[in-house]
Amino acid sequence: MIFSGTYLIGLVISIVLSFFEINIFAYYIIVFVIGFLSGGASSLFVATAFYKSLINEGNALLMITIGLSAAIINKIFYSTQALKEDKNKKVYVIHLVFY
């Protein structure tokens, strides 16, 4: 339910933004925030914005990278909080990054 909600948020935001002309840096911030919630939703947002010709290929690739990086940061943040204290968190984070 949470993931479908973030996909819906990404889709609605991209449709609403198609009626407005905003700065490209605002798109980067929006992608990071959506990516922090869900990496797939940020990819959907970027794909929709690219399909509607709101962004070009170069910006789309950068935005996908930013959105998925935000999803990785989110995964590292929440999974290290749930990790038991006797485990080595640095090794766990390195494994997550390379995964």
Eight-state DSSP code of residue 90: H
Alpha helices in the chain (DSSP H): 2-17, 24-37, 39-51, 57-82, 89-98
55 near 26, Cβ under 8 Å?
no
Q: How far apart are CA 85 and CA 38, in angstroms?
A: 27
pLDDT in tens, the chain (99 residues): 566 777 788 788 888 888 888 888 988 998 998 888 887 888 888 888 888 888 899 999 999 999 988 888 888 787 777 666 767 777 777 776 776
The reply to whether the predicted model has a pTM over 0.85 is no
